[in-house]
């Protein structure tokens, strides 16, 4: 689906718009993926049952998470353990990709963490692909891994993962191939990949495709298997 397919919703907080993408109503029982748009300060937000991972798509602003004020800009990511209160202090057309994690593992005392994409190390995966890790168990996010992947021009071999994943295309044009069928991908395209679903992403070029992924159980985005179950070898870190 595409982000424009999600109907905008407003709750009692008039400064926050929500577009729901994947959740249990369309076959994604592990996550709820949505886009949040803030136009000004918001009231306190908290989910007592689910963890949340956020990524700034566009705009800027400042938020207070568990009493800590942080500035947000494109490329900023955040992990919020269930029950952690946060709100926007100020926001200028601030758009966040939010993924709520159903039945999360214990955070072991962690309430939140904020990560800057530009500060993270680039690592290698299969077929010349690279990634940078964001929310991980190392910062208290025990249930999922959040990352940005960089896909070069071309089509990788078909493969599958042992984790359940939701993907959001940040940059680039291409296609998703599953079972002999294809669907176009462009910025704002959203994909749910259940565990062990054989698939591949193709980047039509001319530049690198960038995708934001969140998957469970947590691990490495480089873990992949060919349709016969053979592990796909990954290069060493750059």
Residues linked to residue 174 through DSSP beta bridges, in sequence order: 185, 203
Kindly state the percentage of the chain with pLDDT values over 90: 89
Asked if residue 237 lies in contact with residue 121, where contact means CB atoms within 8 angstroms, the answer is: yes
Express each pLDDT in 180-232 by its tens digit.
Answer: 999 999 999 999 999 999 999 999 999 999 999 999 999 999 999 999 999 98
Average pLDDT on 143-148 reads 98
Residue 116 has pLDDT above 90, yes or no: yes
* Residue 234 pLDDT: 53
The mean predicted confidence, pLDDT, of the chain is 94
Residue 236 has pLDDT above 80, yes or no: no
Average pLDDT on 38-57 reads 96
Express each pLDDT in 157-172 by its tens digit.
Answer: 899 999 999 999 999 9
Average pLDDT on 64-71 reads 96
Which domains are delineated in the chain?
Answer: 3-117 (2.60.120.10), 121-216 (2.60.120.10)
Helix and strand totals (H; E) in the chain: 0, 18
Residue 108 has pLDDT above 90, yes or no: no
* Residue 63 pLDDT: 97
CA-to-CA distance for 108 and 226, rounded, in angstroms?
35
Nearest CA to 192 out of 74, 28, 68, 14 is that of 28
Average pLDDT on 3-29 reads 92
pLDDT bracket for residue 237 (50, 70, 90):
very low
* Residue 232 pLDDT: 86
């Amino acid at each position: 689906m595409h982000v424009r397919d999600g109907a905008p919703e407003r709750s009692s907080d008039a400064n926050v718009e929500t577009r729901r993408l994947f959740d249990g109503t369309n076959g994604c029982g592990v996550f709820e993926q949505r886009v949040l748009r803030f136009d000004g300060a918001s009231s306190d937000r908290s989910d007592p049952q689910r963890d949340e991972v956020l990524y700034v798509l566009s705009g800027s602003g400042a938020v207070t998470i568990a009493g800590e004020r942080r500035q947000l800009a494109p490329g900023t990511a955040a992990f919020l353990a269930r029950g952690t209160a946060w709100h926007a202090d100020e926001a200028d057309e601030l758009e966040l990709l939010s993924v709520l994690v159903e039945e999360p593992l214990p955070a072991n005392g962690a309430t939140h963490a904020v990560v800057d994409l530009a500060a993270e190390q680039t690592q290698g995966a299969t077929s010349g692909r690279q990634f940078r890790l964001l929310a991980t168990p190392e910062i208290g996010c025990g249930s999922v891994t959040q990352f940005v992947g960089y896909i070069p021009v071309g089509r990788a071999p078909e493969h599958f993962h042992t984790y359940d994943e939701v993907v959001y295309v940040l940059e680039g044009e291409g296609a998703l191939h599953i079972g002999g069928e294809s669907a176009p991908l462009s910025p704002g395209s959203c994909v749910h990949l259940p565990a062990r679903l054989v698939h591949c992403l193709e980047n039509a070029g001319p530049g690198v495709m960038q995708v934001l992924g969140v998957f469970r159980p947590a691990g490495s985005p480089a873990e992949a298997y060919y349709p016969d179950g053979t592990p796909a070898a990954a290069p060493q870190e750059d």
